[in-house]
Amino acid sequence: MNTAHEVDQLKDAIKTYGQVNSEGKYTIAYGILFDKTANILEALNGTLRSAKRQKKVTFDAELLMMPRDKDVQVVLLEA
């Protein structure tokens, strides 16, 4: 598994489907991200956790699960 490539795909998806928040950062609801990347990223949670450890994204949870966390915002920290 090429984690760097998958993190890049995640960042692209957030920029494509997300919106810019009041701080000028791209943000997207986990539910939308989940739906939009279903055919692109096989292990979305693993990619999100890796991107969070690399400080490329942030979200208010340890692990995001559908449908419970569908409204949790994933914020892109590094474009």
Give the type of residue at 23.
Answer: E
pTM of the model: 0.93
Burial class (CB in 10 A: 0-12, 13-18, 19+), 51: buried
Assigned token pair, 57: 């994204």
pLDDT tens-place string over residues 22-52: 999 999 999 999 999 999 998 999 999 999 9
More confident residue, 1 or 32: 32
Domains of the chain, earliest start first: 3-76 (1.10.10.1540)
Q: Indicate the length of the chain as a whole number.
A: 79
> Bridge partners of 2?
none
- Average pLDDT value for the chain: 95
